[in-house]
Amino acid sequence: MSGFIYSAEPGLIIGFHGCERVVREAIVSGRSQMRVSNKTWDWLGDGLYFWQNNYERALHYAQNPPGKLKINEPAVLGAVFSLGNCLDLTDKKSLDIVNDIYSIYAATMAAGGMRMPTNDNSSADPDSFDNVIRRLDCAVIKQVHEIFHLTEQRPFDSVRALLPEGRPLYPGAGFRQKTHIQIAIRNPNMIKGCFLPRRESKWLGAPLPLIAPKRKGSTS
């Protein structure tokens, strides 16, 4: 650990979460709270999941839920949050932490004669580019949090990653069709509020009315 202080995101971020309409309305009204996702294949480990500044991706998820998940009335929940102390996998320091913890985890599993989890495709899409069942990544990130807890280091409030996903955007492209920034909020106190996303209002940029200059000697 380098000891630098820049793992804390300085500002607020907007994120979006795809879900059932009734779930969104219950959360926005304060009748309910978001539930932590803690599946063994979650890409960023346990947390409250958002797409950063990506309403369309959240809506696509709600309209095309993975596996056996069913969403009858697709909707998108908006949220404003800070990242706090973030395990940011766009940052070298965080990547080095995850890599080091992987080495410890792999050695521990080998010493115990246990098989490492793997990232795999779902049976419904065996030819995917993405290995969407990410048991290995999930286990490694959980190990990061566990080791930080055991060694009494400052816990991570969130995890963020740029995740290439989907087929190449065009032949030979270095871009993928579903690439996105995903965030898992671990500390719920990072979420400052939830909202119903609103559509853009028509605005023509009309100039403000001009103020006529005062004439010499005028008091009005």
Report CA-CA distances (Å) from 24 to 36, 60, 107, 119: 15, 16, 43, 31
Reference 158, options 85, 219, 100; nearest CA is: 85
- For residues 119 and 194, the answer to whether their CB atoms sit within 8 Å is no
Residue range 114-151, pLDDT digits in tens: 999 999 988 777 778 788 899 999 999 999 999 999 99
Q: With pLDDT > 90 as the criterion, what percentage of the chain qualifies?
A: 76
Decide if 47 contacts 176 (C-beta within 8 A): no
Cα first-last separation, the chain: 66
The Cα–Cα gap between 135 and 139 comes to 6
> With contact defined as beta carbons under 8 Å apart, do 36 and 48 qualify?
yes
Q: What is the mean pLDDT of the chain?
A: 91
Q: For helices 92-111 and 135-150, give the axis angle rounded to 10 degrees.
A: 100
pLDDT of 7: 61
According to DSSP, the β-strands at 74-81 and 13-20 are antiparallel
The 10s digit of each residue's pLDDT in 18-70 is 999 999 999 999 999 999 999 999 999 999 999 999 999 999 999 999 888 89
Whole-model pTM?
A: 0.87
CB 175 within 8 A of CB 169: yes
